[in-house]
A and B are shown apart, each in its own frame.
Chain A
């Protein structure tokens, strides 16, 4: 018996030695270690017929044999590698897609706003919000836009019914949040306000009565025009993720003094001139200026101690420029053929 075991061992080790792939490995396992009729299994079964006095010794020899084969085999398994599911020779067509995930889409404006919010938050700006249906006070009066100002003319502003004498409007700009924020948080403050605004204007491919803007402002001691220029240059470069230049032109907005139109060097042609910037090298970004002292006053901020600047940009226009969207009405169309592209 002992001799037979030795013979089996030698044979098995020889066969292990010869195994070259997982197929042969499997055959070997089947032959020797199959739990029903493998060679080793059969030997254990044969133990029953061995006489009592020999059985312990034979048992331990058999065990030794099994462990020996298994440990040698373990090395071989490691060397050959085990494959699952039939190996890799089954001619898979990698060019086919099988699972079609129907993930939804986030509206491009929401994506853009989230990006702007993130960009500004990184630079320490708070993100604030305010009512879209706003009081005459916060939308106009507090912003140094007295009742006779042209911006109030009915053709520009949506008014909504009010149960009191105080007029109510759909905010015409996100600037309406400026004074609310000053009253709530005081100075110093640095914040942006993205959001929906309304203008009572006929709609066509480039005009909408409902669109998105964002407002930003900084109030602190000794804020200057030089600060405004440096900050805006940094901000627009952050938005476009490259170094851009800014240019100020005089612009009139009642809630700032002085007021500026803000141009940025065209990010499509790096200021060289292209159809998008009408060959001027500059793109109009929005308005800005030092916050008018009477606006600070309306916000309860001491304009002797503090000064600040504010800027506003049209998100809808920037979004259209970013993606080359040629019809502003698509943005609020709810049309999946449009939305599914983003």
Chain B
């Protein structure tokens, strides 16, 4: 939105000392943000009205002329190429030193073919006023010589630029009048209400209006005859140009003018195109399903029964509050119009314009919930202006006015002390009352009590309760005039959050303890990737309105996106380990309730830590991944067990079935360690084996403990003895440990693997395993013979239970 300072000045006398920049700052700090200040006169700085005193031919050039030009102080010699200049003309003169941005040129005194030139006479294009270069602009001969060109032409305006979003909550600020009222309150200047006077009715015709749906709040209309449609006068055109509105013709321009001035969208129909009997009949109703209308933008729209329309008996005339119909539009041959000034429900207008993707200046305003009282003054103002631009016009119908709206104008009962308490500053009662009154509120006070009547233009949805008044007082008083004061609060311990503890510890452990890099990926995963890894997208929570392909479902696991990270980073790095911590979204509804105490639960969404290990030449990254998990969980004091699962996990078909472990804490599954299935790696174009892990941190948090069981430092030395043996290849290390531990001998303290060998000198279905067993007593120094006895028992156990053959040294 563009706000013209000149236009504002018609409603408020701005203090002379207030610069445009200060005005913008004031509005920004107390009302709404001004994005920019554009001084329209700036590009004409240095250009003045000059008078040509004499013109003669250039002695050395056929196409050039020499002019003597009066700049108001002295007579200048100027060389000019334009053929249309003559003595006595007033012309725009760019004086020495002037920069003309339109042609990127700075005027300097120079010689042109031996004749000096002390300035430049300007054509339209040189001033950025058009493309015309055929001749110098000839100005009104009544202009005073030496007057700045911008002032002489009415270009001396300053535009305040506003992002529409900044006034979304203020329906009253969508026209210059409302902004002027606001500025008056902020500066203490006087606000002058527009006073277009009563409409003079000079005929007996009738405009019949029926509102058939409660979304129609008010409909005012008059019929005006004697219309002459023509080009708008300059003052009207330049005003519209200042706010960025194209000029169409005098009648349409007036309706637009009133909208920019008062904030009320207006519409004019060609009366002859909408009147079929003697009377003009207008119906405001909902469209029938599938009803069609061609609008002013030459588009045809198919409507639904939710769309509010303006119609007569036979046809649709307009989409209410959005855009007029093409068939009923005024044209150059129009001689009679029906002028509409109406109000429609903001939600209805918003929904229709949104569904049709038809956003107009009109819909933007109605969406904000305009004051229905505005219709009246706007209609009178439009009639006033139409008579000005089309002098033979006269109102030939009575003023139709149908209204069905209710505004809650209060009064709001509040107290001075409530407002002071919420602001945190004892602003005097007198000042509070003054501020509210300056904004148009009606205030009566008695002692501490205030009774505040809401002005109609703030009552549609903006102001309704005491807390709204706090804002009004505080912002006009000046937020930055409020003295900061610290709140005092009781000391209160935070609820203990074990998940937070784990999240705080896990990142540094993985990064600095296990040489992993943290990444963060989107919470989305693409359906395509889901399918590629052999999973079913139907098992995922779907996004109803995805932004783009590839962002269509919610991740169930951190791993698929991590695999894409592997693909991308493998182009630059040989080896890396990545991890991510974030929420996974389950299709199962085990999460928080959608409302307090509701049985409708959101999807389960737990924090997970996921990791990938990718190392050039590492044929068994699985061990690396497993060791990370083992070390990590031990460090977090969880008693961890790995469980072999034959054929992996069904819910993750993209993981290898034979390189897969469940991670268990206290007997509960908290995660997995696995290698990614070879075929999937191939499909993704990854060249090395990739191992992964994924741990549910929420489940870990439920078992969180910072308890560490202290064991006394051993007082007696241990004895270590090695075993080297041959077993079947299928015998897993865990079962060797379990077999030895099954002896439950109290002297057995530790078993540590140091070699597994398969290959030469070992039968192909066998492997050689070597490990060290540690024996120790807590009561005494162990005799070697004692340890050897247990060691023999261990060997026997391995022979009998696992069929191992022990290699004796």
Contact = CB atoms under 8 A, between A and B. Distances in A.
A334 B497 CA distance: 29
Interface string A105-136: 11101100010000001001011011111111
Given A104-B516, A107-B518, A331-B520, A233 B544 contact: no
Given A200-B547, A334-B519, A233 B564 contact: no
Given A103-B511, A339-B518, A224 B602 contact: no
Contact of A183 (B28, B577, B596): B596
B796 interface: no
Interface residues of B, number: 96
A258 B589 CA distance: 37
A158 B544 CA distance: 7
Interface in B439-484: 465, 467-468, 470-471, 474-475, 479-480, 482-484
Given A109-B520, A158-B545, A250-B32, A334 B422 contact: no
B672 interface: no
B565 interface: yes
B544 A339 contact: no
Contacts of B516: 104
Contacts of A340: 517
B500 A127 contact: yes
Nearest to A259: B471
A334 B569 contact: yes
* Interface size class, chain A: 35 or more
Interface string B539-580: 001111111000100100000011011001100110011100
Interface in B514-547: 514-524, 541-547
Nearest to B470: A258
A159 B485 contact: no
Nearest to B473: A258
A233 B495 contact: no
A7 interface: no
A166 B422 contact: no
Interface in B497-521: 497, 499-500, 504, 507-508, 510-512, 514-521
Contacts of B508: 106
- The winner among A124, A159, A292, A334 for most chain B CB atoms within 10 A is A334
A161 B602 CA distance: 11
* Chain A residues touching B, majority SS: mixed
Interface stretch (A54-62, A147-155, A320-328): A147-155
B313 interface: no
Contact of B33 (A105, A150, A261): A261
A131 B591 contact: yes
A188 interface: yes
Contact of A105 (B487, B518, B572, B602): B518
A180 interface: yes
A214 interface: no
Contact of A226 (B425, B489, B577): B425
Chain A CB within 10 Å — which of B346, B577, B594 has the most? B594
B346 A159 contact: no
A138 B484 CA distance: 31
A74 B30 CA distance: 85
A260 interface: yes
Given A104-B510, A135-B594, A124 B547 contact: no
A257 B489 contact: no
A132 B504 CA distance: 19
A209 B512 contact: no
B184 to A, nearest CB: 17
A133 B543 contact: no
A166 B518 CA distance: 36
B583 interface: yes
B347 interface: yes
Nearest to B591: A131
Given A226-B483, A226-B484, A290-B422, A188 B545 contact: no
Contacts of A337: 572
Contact of B551 (A102, A124, A209, A247): A209
Interface in A157-202: 158-161, 163-164, 166, 168, 170, 180, 183, 185, 188, 190, 196, 198, 200-202
Given A159-B543, A164-B600, A135 B487 contact: no
B547 A188 contact: no
A304 to B, nearest CB: 10
Interface string B240-271: 00000000000000000000000000000000
Contact of B523 (A210, A230, A247, A335): A210
A218 B484 contact: no
A180 B467 contact: no
Interface in B78-110: none
Query: Considering residues B504, B542, B545, which has the most beta carbons from chain A within 10 angstroms of its beta carbon?
Result: B545
A226 B423 contact: yes
Contact of A336 (B484, B495, B573): B573
A126 B577 CA distance: 33
Most buried by B among A229, A261, A331: A229
A231 interface: yes
A185 B495 contact: yes
A248 interface: yes
A11 B217 CA distance: 123
A106 B507 contact: yes
Contacts of A124: 489, 491-492
10 contacts: A106-B507, A161-B543, A164-B594, A168-B594, A170-B523, A225-B425, A226-B482, A227-B486, A233-B484, A258-B474
Given A104-B514, A225-B424, A260-B479, 8 more contacts: A104-B517, A131-B592, A133-B591, A148-B346, A160-B542, A230-B485, A250-B471, A257-B470
Shortest beta-carbon contacts, A-B, top 8: A226-B424, A224-B424, A258-B471, A230-B484, A135-B594, A104-B511, A334-B565, A248-B479
